[in-house]
Amino acid sequence: LLFDGIYKTVTSKTLQTTQFTSGVLEKVQHSYNQKISGDVILIPTPGAISRGKTGTTHGSAYSYDTHVPIIFFGAGIKNGFSHKDYNVRDIAPTLATLLGVEFPNGNSGKVIEEVLE
C-alpha cells in the first residue's frame, strides 16, 4: 500500500532488533520508546508537514529539520566560535558537565570538549 506523504514505515520489532548507525532510521530509533511508541512508525516524505487546529509538529528526522543552533556563554566556557556540526544528544552531557551534575538517565551523547575551559 502507498500513501501520500509517507516515505517509509518501520516496525517496533525492527527498531528493537536492528542497530541503525546513520540516516533517518537512526534518528527514528533514537526517538523510539517501547512503552509509548506505536507498533508501526510512519516516516513522512521529505518536506511533508502534518498540522492541525493547534499547529504543526516538532519537526522531522531529516537533516534540514534537525539543526539546533546553540550558544554556550559564561563561566567555564572557552572563548571562541565554531561552525562544526554536533549531535543534539551532546548538549545534555555538556550542560551536565558544566553544572557539575550527573548525566541524564539514558544519555547517549558525548561532552562537547571544545567549549570547556
How high is the pLDDT of residue 100?
94
Residue 55: predicted pLDDT: 67
User: Phi and psi for 68 in degrees, rounded to 5?
Assistant: -125, 105
For residue range 65-101, list pLDDT tens digits in order: 777 788 998 888 999 888 888 888 899 999 999 999 9
Answer yes or no: pTM beyond 0.85: no
* Dihedral sign from CA coordinates of 84, 88, 90, 92: positive
Give the amino acid at 62. Y
71-80 burial code (b ≥16 CB/10 A, e <16): ebeeeeeeee
